[in-house]
Structure formats: C-alpha cells, structure tokens
Amino acid sequence: MVGRRTVIIGAGVVGAAIADELSALGWTDIVVVDQGDFPATGGSTSHAPGVVFQANGSKAMTDLARYTVEKFVALEHQGESCFIQVGGLEVATTPERMAEVHRRHGWLTSWGVEAEVVDADRCVELHPLLDRDRILGGLHCPTDGLAKALAAVEAQIERAKSRGVRLLPRHEVTDITVEDGKVVGVVTNHGEIPADIVVCCAGIWGPKVAALAGVYLPLTPLAHQLAWTGTVPALAGQTEEAVRPVLRHQDADLYYRDRYDQLAVGYYGHRPMPIDAHDLLPVEEAEVMPSVLEFTPEDFEPAWEETNLLLPQTAEAKIEEGINGVFSFTTDGMPLLGESKDVSGFWVAEAVWVTHSAGVGRAMAEWLANGYCESFDLHECDVNRFEDFQLVPEYVLERDCQNFVEVYDILHPLQPMDSPRAIRTSPFYLRQQELDAFFLPATGWERPHWYDANKGLLEHYQVPQPNDWAARYWSPIAGAEAQATREGVAMYDMTALKRLMVTGSGATAFLQRLTTGNIDKSIGSVTYTLLLNADGGIRSDVTIARLGKNRYQVGANGALDTDWFERFLPQDGSVAVTDITPGTCCIGLWGPKAREVLSQLTDADLTNTGLKYFRAAEINVGNVPVTAMRLSYVGELGWELYTTADLGLRLWDTIWQAGQDHGIIAAGRGAFNSLRLEKGYRSFGTDMTFEHDPYEAGVGFAVKLDKGDFIGRDALLRRKENQTRTLACLTIDNPEDVVAGKEPVFAGDRAVGYVTSAAYGYTIGKGIAYAWLPLEVASPGTEVEIGYFGKRISAVVTAEPLFDPKMTRLRG
Ligand SMILES: Cc1cc2nc3c(=O)[nH]c(=O)nc-3n(C[C@H](O)[C@H](O)[C@H](O)COP(=O)(O)OP(=O)(O)OC[C@H]3O[C@@H](n4cnc5c(N)ncnc54)[C@H](O)[C@@H]3O)c2cc1C
C-alpha cells in the first residue's frame, strides 16, 4: 500500500512527525514541502528550547505528551537520543500555587504519569540554583525533560525518507488547488504537486496557508520571550548539555533550562504581542528567521529581576541573547487537528507544541490512514469544534491573547474569561437578569448557575458548605434550588444545548446508520441514542425526537455533531441537516408540580397515557406553539418545551405567571448538575469520550445490536466481550469533601482511576463522584480514596442511580 497522494506543508516538528508516523503505517506517496532550508527552516521549531512538561488538565494532552517523550527517548539522531530526560520541576512560591501543585500532581496521577510533590529541600537538591527560602515546594516529574526538537525533526524525516517519502526544502506553497470542494494539489514556487490529501503543518503560517484553500484557521501567532544567559559562574565547567530538571516558576510566568554552563529563561509575563500570519517576513528577508522578532529588553526586565531572586547565582551572569519568538495560540488553548469541514482532503495539524508533537503525529497518521484515531481521544482538539461566533477574527484575537496571558495561571474549572461575554443570550436573558442570575458562559451562551432572587429558599433548605475550591463559582442557593426542584417545580433554561433538525426522505435511513438505537419508531417517539466512531468509541450521545415521517429533532452536544452528520449526508440530497439552535430556545419545566403548572396553559392531554415518558407532541402553551418532550435530565416529572426564539420571552412569562400559585422558581445549572448526578445521567465530554465504549460507560442500554448495521457496530461486538473498566458511582459522606473532577482514585496506595464529574447530592445528602475504575474495584461497597489537593478523601462505590431507581418520579 502507498496510501493516498499526500503533501505535508511544513517540515517543522509536527510535519516531520506526521511524515514518519504515516509512512510507518504504509502511506509512502508523501511529499513534505517547506519554504525554508532543512532542518532549521525558520519556523518555531528552529528555536524552540524543547522544554517538555507532561502535566495537563486535559488527559488527551498528557497522553500526547507522554507518547512524545517515549518516542523521543528512543529516537536517535547521530547516535544520540532526541530527549534529555532530566525531569521537570514546577516550584511554588505561594500557598495558592502549592495547592495548585497538588492539583497538577493529581492530574498526572490520574493520567498514569509518575510524579511526586516534594518539599523545598528536595527542590533545592534537584535544582541547586534555587533559593531555598523563596519556595514552598514543587512538583517533580522524573520523565519530563528536554526534547532536541531539530534532531527529532531530522531523525523522523530520515526515517520517512527511507520509506520513500520525499522532502522538498525551499519550496514555498503559493496556492492550493481546490476543485468541487476537494483539494487536488498544491502550487509551489517550483511547480505543481498533485495531491488527494494536503496536511497543513505550517505552524504560525497556518492561517495564511489555510486561506489558500479557502479555509479560515482560528489561531493567532504571538511572540514569547526567550533569553539565554552567558556563563553562570556557579555552572562553570558543566560539560553536559543539561543536568538539572527543566524548571517552571509559574507564579512569575517563567521557565528555565540548562545549556551547558548557561541557562535559558522563557517568559510569558509580558504584554501579548500578536502578529498577523500574513505579516511574517519571507525567509530571505528575515534578519534571523521569520519566526524570530527583535528582542524587546524592556519587556524582559521583570523576568530577569525575578530570576535573580529565585536563582540568586544568576545575578552574577548577564542576559546575552534574547528573542521574541513566535508560536501559535488558540481560543481554548488546544491544538487544531483534523480535516476541514469546508474543503475535503484539506487537513490541519496546527498550534501544536514540541511537547505534544510526536503524539499528534501518531494521532494524525491513524486518523488519515484508518478514518479514526484509536490511540488518543481527540474530541477537544478537532478543528471543527467551533461555533460560527468562535470563528470571527476579533473573537479569536481577543481569546488567543487572553490565553497567552493565562498560560500559567491557576484557573478554576468553572472560571470564565472576563471578555468577551454575553455573546449569545437566550430569549429569557432579560428575565434572568431581573432575577439576579449568576451567569457562566456555555459555548458563548450566558447560562444561569443560580438566581440570587432565590435567596429566601435558604430559610427552608439546609445546604452544607463545601471546601473553599468547590465553593468558588458556587452558592448555597444552588443547593436550595436543587431541593426545591425535587419538591415543587422549577424552570431551567436549556437553550445552550445544540439542536439539529434532520429532514428529508432519506432521514430515517441516515439516522439509523449513524446511531446505535432504533429511531424508526412512531411519530412522537423520543430515543436516547449514541453516535460511535468506527472503533466503537462514543462520539456523542443524542436524543432524537421523531416529529414527522421524515422530520427529526436531535438534541446534540456541539459543533462536532453537526460536522459528523454533514460528513455522512447522502449525495442525492435526500437528507438535510439544519442547526436550529440559534433560532430556537428551550425551557425545562421539572418537578412534581410541573403538570399542575402546564395543564393550566394547554388543552393538550398531559396525562401519563396522553403524553408518555419519552414521547413528544406539538402543543400550545398559552399563545405559544411548543414542541413538548416528556423527558428530564434532572429525574423529575416534566417537559422540555421548545419554541422559536421570537416566542421565547412570551413562553417564559406565560409559564412563570401560571407557576406563581405553585411556588415556581427559576433554577440554574448548579442545581441541574447535582440533580443529574443523583440520577446517574452521563455527560459526553466529561464522563465519557471517544476512548470509551457504551458498555463500560454504562449506556449499553442505548445500543440495539439487532437493528441492523450502524457505524461502530462491528468494533462494538469485539469490545463488548473485553470489558476491563467501568464508569462507577462513588459517594462521599463528608459534605465538605466536594471534588471537582479529574482527581485520581486510589485503592490502597495504588492509583486505579480518575473522577469525571462530581457534585454534592442535596437530596441524597452525600457527595457524588463518577469515576473510571477497573472492574475489580468497581463493585458496590468497595472503599476507595480520592486524591484532592494532596489529601485523601474516603469514598465508597455505590449502586446507581442514587435517586429514584424505579423511575417513579419521571413516570409519575
Ligand atoms: C520562543 C519559543 C519557545 C518555545 N518553547 C517551547 C518549549 O519549550 N516546549 C514546547 O513544547 N514548545 C515550545 N514552543 C512552541 C513550539 O516551538 C511550537 O509550537 C512548535 O515548534 C511548532 O511546530 P510546527 O511544526 O507546527 O511549526 P514550525 O516549526 O513553525 O513549522 C512550520 C513550517 O511550515 C513551513 N511553511 C510555512 N508556510 C509555508 C509555505 N507556504 N510553504 C512551505 N512551507 C511553509 C515553515 O517554513 C516551517 O518550517 C516554543 C516556541 C517559541 C517560539
């Protein structure tokens, strides 16, 4: 097999990794082109100091980094390894950072990377230049270290060349030829190269190269300061390139590495310095290289002052060289990977650090060769994950600059960016503001987490106080709203969830092929089902309501679902997929008194026989035509009520008014999260992702193997028989011990899994944490511990759901 004709644009560390990995999978008809000389092309890789820290809140990013470390350790160039495994040390100079060190240690433990929290003495032992009195301790990860980026580029390209891949340096891509929405080749300054697949690995030039294909790439090149000292007298005579761990001092936005008797100092504390990809200089015009801008010493002054304090012996040295080196930032800090939804055959692997490069190479190669990536869960990295508003250059620039500013900050999982805010607002926004909602953004939507207007509920309901970290972006009011929902009736704004309309004569067959469930049921049926990748991994969970013979409303998770559907649309035009999210809205009306409220407003039969659980009907609520679906993510009687955006405010007011005599409240996402975990309802992206199959995730009930073929079915048959882990429900007795997600779970001293979602269950009176665990420790009654900021929290595996297992409330 030679694979498809492939052109990789860019011979940096990303392009090289893809050429190596893809050729290893048998694709050899590959040309790598680069506008610069080889191997120092002038891109970001040419001057990267190669510092590799694997700790990351994203499991996928740590997995990609670990793969890179393991590959580079074994990869040789001119007889030497491409990785110097000196370890990594992140020091804390404040109590907040020390707590963060514990949290980051928890991530590494969760994702299976050995690391240790060490005290200040041990930090100094590891890195003797440190001032013992300035630090409180640190995180030591022995497998971190220094990637020799250029050596790795050469080694990977050499290997690829030995398999038949061609490298063309000094070939600038000046155009990309697209015919009928498909790439057919690239034009270079030395002629054309036909291609079925073009992979854009152009780094900071990515937006410019993508534009040649008519694709907008949401990333911003930003300059970042990197300086080198002269000889540090205390290091004089060091003959090895590096002996001390790579060092991070995140309280001051700094990192360090050895270079023989000198140190490199990297700095993120300066003002953001974005540059337009189109303004980067051509190779021959750039003084040093196109990705290197002139050093601005005044921006670096605080970095050097702080360095002299942290590493006092550096005061005897001077900064001798410095650059403002440019690399890519994105709106959410994650890479951009995959095939463009706009141009078939145009793939990108952009905004990738050296740290993750080889992992990304592997991931892209699998994805290209097999149609899916089995080694990594890429849902957070997919280039098609963005909503339209996230592809507006003004938004991209602001967010990317903010991500640069926050790159080393301690960020709470719920912490929003201050700006831009209120980009998307539901029709209920005005009323929510009147009720003093506390909003947090969800894919740009302002979504209430609780309403201060509900403060009075605290006189009726006990709400325990969680620990300080869990108490951020939280209010006891959320706990009261949860309890009030279980006892009375509440309105939840569900507008932020993605809604697609799938229509046409081919719609039924189309959905049957894409989903695991049987959706070919009577009009009015609602089905909870899954989208799978070809390897049986969960792509998404969706709720499909059949509203007509050829008309289905799909409750989905995000832009990746739209993209997935569109990729499988039949050529004959028999199916149309429309994103109706922006033009519609939804209120979840839930609680034991929901029927009393709604029945005042409609002639429709709302009884258990009239509109059964998991059935939908078009009804009128007051003056408002509504699609009512009898479902509830919070586990109470009630309906999701959908209408068009223009009628949303009217719908809210109508229900609000009718609910007054029944004590109706508006309730927010804080209550919602707690209620859904009491019911054991999984959330895609948190509890289950591409790497999990339905059986282990506890949603096997949504798979109908006997319905005929569907995407992922064959793989599922194999996976079903080989379960080794499961998504288990843990409960925690101490109400203060509310955890956040991503914490490691221990059986004795052994880290065995990690937490996905967590909340306090106000009805059951216990903390809840869902966690991936090996089967042998997942039986109810098994006692485990959760690592939380360095302490151990006792938890017990508990049979689920924790609330109303007989479903009497939902069916009531
Ligand atoms: C100062 C600095 C310090 C850094 N430190 C670290 C670190 O310590 N650890 C870490 O993990 N990461 C670090 N990074 C980030 C890292 O260097 C980059 O993310 C990474 O090198 C990007 O690799 P790439 O292959 O995507 O891009 P590049 O290396 O920039 O490669 C892109 C290639 O595309 C070519 N190209 C562009 N346009 C065209 C065209 N039209 N035709 C043909 N060829 C084209 C370019 O010539 C270039 O060779 C640092 C970056 C900087 C700037």
541 is catalytic: yes
Among 115, 112, 111, smallest CA distance to 57 is for 111
| Residue whose tokens read 């015919």 | 179
Q: How many residues does the chain have?
A: 812
Q: CA 405, CA 220: separation in Å to the nearest integer?
A: 13
DSSP β-ladder status, 246-249 and 88-92: parallel
pLDDT of residue 1: 67
Residue of 251, 541, 561, 693 marked catalytic: 541
pLDDT of residue 663: 98
| Ligand 1 pocket mutation, candidates 327, 350, 408, criterion most atoms within 8 A of CB | 327
Ligand 1 closest atom vs CA 326: 53
Which runs of E-coded beta strand occur in 252-399? 254-259, 262-267, 292-293, 319-330, 336-339, 346-350
Q: CA 347, CA 338: separation in Å to the nearest integer?
A: 5
CA 35 to chain CA centroid, nearest Å: 32
Which residues 6+ apart lie within 8 Å of 539 measured at CB? Answer: 379, 530, 531, 532, 533, 560, 561, 564, 690
Q: CA 722, CA 573: separation in Å to the nearest integer?
A: 40
Tokens linked to 467: 């620990």
Residues near ligand 1 with C-beta < 6 Å? Answer: 9-15, 33-36, 41-45, 47-52, 172-173, 201-205, 209, 224, 226, 266, 291, 325-327, 352-355
pLDDT of residue 298: 97
Rg (CA), the chain: 28
| Ligand 1 pocket mutation, candidates 174, 354, 355, criterion most atoms within 8 A of CB | 354
Q: CA 693, CA 541: separation in Å to the nearest integer?
A: 12
Instruction: Report the separation in Å between the CA atom of 22 and the middle of ligand 1, taken as the mean of its atom positions.
Output: 20
Q: CA 328, CA 216: separation in Å to the nearest integer?
A: 15
Question: DSSP alpha helices (H): ranges in 134-204?
Answer: 149-162
Residue type, 586: C
pLDDT of residue 284: 86
255 is catalytic: yes
Burial letters 732-756, b for 16+ CB under 10 A, else e: beebebbbbbbbbbbbeeebbbbbb
pLDDT of residue 622: 98
Q: CA 438, CA 457: separation in Å to the nearest integer?
A: 16
The angle that helices 354-370 and 59-74 make with each other, rounded to 10 degrees, is: 100
436 is catalytic: no
DSSP tally for the chain: helices H, then strands E: 18, 42
* Residues 639, 593 contacting (CB under 8 angstroms): no
* Residues 757, 769 contacting (CB under 8 angstroms): yes
Which runs of E-coded beta strand occur in 569-706? 576-579, 584-590, 616-621, 624-629, 638-644, 665-667
CA distances from 58 to 137, 365, 786 (A): 24, 21, 18
HSE value, Cβ hemisphere, 13 Å, CA-based, for 712? 29
Residue of 67, 255, 268, 492 marked catalytic: 255
Residue ranges in the chain whose pLDDT is less than 70: 1
pLDDT in tens, 322-331: 999 999 999 9
Which runs of E-coded beta strand occur in 335-380? 336-339, 346-350
Instruction: Report the separation in Å between the CA atom of 45 and the middle of ligand 1, taken as the mean of its atom positions.
Output: 4
pLDDT of residue 103: 98
Residue type, 357: S
pLDDT of residue 350: 98
* DSSP structural state of residue 41: -
Residue of 77, 224, 270, 379 marked catalytic: 224
* Helix H or strand E segment including 571: none
Q: CA 362, CA 415: separation in Å to the nearest integer?
A: 32
Q: CA 125, CA 184: separation in Å to the nearest integer?
A: 58
Which residues 6+ apart lie within 8 Å of 764 measured at CB? Answer: 678, 731, 802, 803
pLDDT in tens, 212-255: 999 999 999 999 999 999 999 999 999 999 999 999 999 999 99
CA 361 to chain CA centroid, nearest Å: 19
| Residue whose tokens read 């490691």 | 744
Dihedral of alpha carbons 771, 774, 778, 782, sign: negative
The answer to whether the predicted template modeling score (pTM) of the entire model surpasses 0.95 is yes
